[in-house]
Amino acid sequence: MGVRLAFLLFVGKSISQACPQPLLALREVAQANGGMTAIAERSHVKRESLYQMLSKRGNPELTSLFNVLHGMGLTITIQPMHEVGA
C-alpha cells in the first residue's frame, strides 16, 4: 500500500470515528503529498496559515478546508449516517 493511500485511509477512519485530531492527520497527508509549502501554494493559502489550520488548535473555515483538500487532490463526501427510512 502506498504512503498516500495509507494516510488517506487513516484520515478517513479518523474523521468517521470522530477522532479528536483529524486535522493533524491531514497535516501528515500534506507532508507526504509534496510538503506544506507545495500544498499551501496549490491551495492558495499562506504556508503559515496552513500550519495553523492543520494544528491541534486548528479551526479552519469550511472554505479554507476545501481549498486545502483541493490542493491535496482530495474532496469531502457527505452522506447520511443511517439509511433514509431506517
Cβ proximity of 28 and 5 under 8 Å: no
Checking if the pLDDT of 75 tops 90, the result is no
Q: Tens digit of pLDDT for each residue in 64-74?
A: 999 998 998 88
Cβ proximity of 55 and 23 under 8 Å: yes
Checking if the pLDDT of 82 tops 70, the result is yes
Q: Tens digit of pLDDT for each residue in 18-46?
A: 555 778 878 888 888 889 999 999 999 99
Domain borders along the chain are: 3-71
Top pLDDT among 21 and 6 is at 21
Q: What mean pLDDT is reported for the chain?
A: 80
Give the number of other Cβ atoms within 10 Å of residue 24's Cβ: 15
Helix (H, G, I), strand (E, B) or coil at 68: helix
How far apart CA 35 and CA 15 sit, in angstroms, is 22
Residues sharing a CB contact under 8 Å with residue 69, sequence separation 6 or more, in sequence order = 26, 75, 76
Cβ proximity of 19 and 9 under 8 Å: no
Select from 69, 30, 20 the least CA-distant residue to 78.
69
Span 3-71: which CATH code?
Answer: 1.10.260
